[in-house]
């Protein structure tokens, strides 16, 4: 019984109380644990931000060191996981592979997490933070047909991830600080975003008391979609298509406005941000700086800027408050760092991982009830069964 309020897409429904991320869509504010994203992107690093999301406070130097060594303790992935990896064709999309491998971790770490024990929860968190970048890097190695790399605890978290993706056998890998810093910044900007589609998925799956790894695997699948994290790959593919088509951005803006055409301007619009996306502002500036420092001239960046300008001058986009989102310029940076297009959403997943884990832990710690929305039934009224011969 009771009255059911319909809210398709949960546009106005709060699903939980959370102390992790604050977001004000009208003002373009984003804060992790009270710290503005602009300050974190500028001054912090991804290792620290992972700790902040998880523990609620920035670490002291000693805590940061311990956190890193705890992660290193769990950074070996069972050799049997490579059999699962190798069963995929090299043409498989890395996000599908990543979701499967993440889910498979359940089989290799079968002990259920005791949610009453902070220590147990922490161990589950660092286990996943340690193994996930290994799996993510392996999806790239698989796609490229390259031998797999393993974690090197001498390297920082981001350097290690980069090295596992790109180190060639018997060759030193040059690690340009410009590249590592850029990657670090992007990971920080993606680290949490309150109750977005993938995070809500992680919480909903976990609300049935499903384990952490299986819940996160569902989050990876949710993130894959082109309306969510998959948009970063779509943006760069769109920009390349516009370029091949002669670079007439107005034509593509008009196409996005045409209600008879399914095409949307990828990397534009957001459910919550109605003025600007603070992450997009930071990333746009970073894209300019990074390409400049690396001496890369990518026509896609010019097209992106022209496209943004044309859209922002257009009544359709203005009246609907559609602005570039986090995915609009991030792909251009990933491309400049030598990351293949199909890997862009995997990069997003590595960034979002600490957010997903922190949200899962918060949900279980708060002992939230199982997530179970209602519906309004619009099907057939009661009718009697008809025997096969009489149909």
Q: Which is nearer to ligand CMC, 176 or 258 (CB)?
A: 258
The minimum distance between CB 263 and ligand CMC, in angstroms, equals: 8
Distance CA 215, CA 209 (A): 9
The DSSP call for residue 25 is T
List 327, 347, 354, 358, residue binding ligand CMC (CB under 6 A): 327
The minimum distance between CB 327 and ligand CMC, in angstroms, equals: 5
> What six digits make up the tokens of 267?
């990397």
Partnered with residue 32 across adjacent β-strands are 21, 35
Q: For the segment 271-310, give every residue that binds ligand CMC (CB under 6 A).
A: 271
**23 phi and psi angles, rounded to 5 deg:** -140, 130
List 76, 87, 227, 318, residue binding ligand CMC (CB under 6 A): 227
* Binding segment (CB under 6 A) for ligand CMC, from list 91-99, 143-151, 164-172, 269-277: 269-277
Helix (H, G, I), strand (E, B) or coil at 23: strand
264 is a contact residue toward ligand CMC (CB under 6 A): yes
Quote the crossing angle between the two packed helices 94-108 and 212-224, to the nearest 10°. Answer: 170
360 is a contact residue toward ligand CMC (CB under 6 A): no
Is 298 labeled as catalytic in the residue annotation?
A: no
Instruction: Find the catalytic residue in 270, 277, 298, 314.
Output: 270
Bridge-based pairing of strands 29-32 and 21-24 is antiparallel
The minimum distance between CB 276 and ligand CMC, in angstroms, equals: 12
Quote the crossing angle between the two packed helices 46-55 and 118-144, to the nearest 10°. Answer: 140
The minimum distance between CB 264 and ligand CMC, in angstroms, equals: 4
Distance CA 100, CA 168 (A): 25
**385 phi and psi angles, rounded to 5 deg:** -60, 140
Residues 182-211: x/- map of binding to ligand CMC (CB under 6 A)? --------------x---------------
Say if residues 47 and 64 touch (Cβ distance below 8 Å).
yes
* Binding segment (CB under 6 A) for ligand CMC, from list 70-78, 108-116, 267-275, 373-381: 267-275
Partnered with residue 36 across adjacent β-strands are 31
The minimum distance between CB 279 and ligand CMC, in angstroms, equals: 8
Q: Which residues contact 119 (CB under 8 A, 6 or more apart)?
A: none
Is 209 labeled as catalytic in the residue annotation?
A: no
Nearest C-alpha neighbor of 255 from the set 269, 242, 240, 273:
242
Size of the residue set binding ligand CMC (CB under 6 A): 20
Q: Which is nearer to ligand CMC, 149 or 325 (CB)?
A: 325
The minimum distance between CB 277 and ligand CMC, in angstroms, equals: 7
By CB under 6 A, name the binding residues for ligand CMC: 9, 196, 227-229, 231, 256, 264-271, 320, 322, 325-327
Residues with catalytic roles: 270, 327
């Amino acid at each position: 019984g009771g009255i059911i309020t319909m809210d398709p897409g949960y546009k106005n429904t709060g699903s939980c109380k959370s102390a992790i991320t604050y977001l004000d869509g009208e003002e373009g504010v984003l804060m992790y644990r009270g710290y503005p994203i602009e300050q974190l992107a500028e001054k912090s690093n991804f290792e620290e931000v992972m700790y902040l999301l998880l523990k609620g406070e920035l670490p002291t130097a000693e805590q940061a060191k311990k956190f890193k060594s705890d992660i290193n303790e769990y950074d070996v992935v069972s050799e049997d996981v490579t059999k699962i990896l190798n069963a995929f064709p090299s043409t498989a999309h890395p996000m599908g592979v990543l979701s499967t491998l993440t889910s498979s971790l359940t089989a290799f770490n079968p002990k259920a997490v005791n949610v009453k024990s902070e220590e147990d929860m922490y161990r589950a968190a660092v286990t996943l933070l340690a193994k996930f970048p290994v799996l993510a890097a392996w999806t790239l190695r698989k796609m490229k047909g390259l031998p797999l790399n393993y974690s090197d605890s001498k390297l920082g978290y981001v350097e290690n991830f980069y090295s596992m993706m790109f180190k060639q056998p018997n060759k030193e890998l040059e690690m340009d600080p410009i590249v590592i810093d850029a990657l670090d910044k992007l990971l920080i900007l993606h680290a949490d975003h309150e109750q977005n589609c993938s995070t809500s998925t992680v919480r909903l799956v976990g609300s049935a008391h499903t384990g952490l790894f299986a819940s996160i695997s569902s989050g990876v699948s949710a993130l894959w979609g082109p309306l969510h994290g998959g948009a970063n790959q779509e943006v760069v593919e769109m920009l390349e298509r516009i370029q091949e088509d002669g670079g007439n951005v107005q034509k593509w803006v008009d196409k996005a406005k045409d209600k008879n055409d399914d095409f949307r301007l990828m990397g534009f619009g957001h459910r919550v941000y109605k003025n600007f996306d603070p992450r997009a502002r930071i990333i746009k500036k970073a894209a300019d700086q990074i390409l400049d420092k690396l001496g890369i001239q990518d026509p896609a960046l010019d097209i992106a800027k022209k496209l943004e300008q044309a859209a922002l001058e257009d009544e359709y986009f203005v009246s609907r408050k559609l602005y570039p989102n986090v995915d609009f310029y991030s792909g251009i940076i990933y491309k400049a760092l030598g990351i293949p297009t199909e890997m862009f959403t995997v990069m997003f997943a590595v960034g979002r991982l600490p957010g997903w884990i922190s949200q899962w832990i918060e949900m279980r710690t708060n002992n939230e009830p199982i997530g179970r929305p209602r519906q309004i039934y619009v099907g057939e009224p009661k009718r009697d069964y008809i025997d096969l011969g009489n149909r």
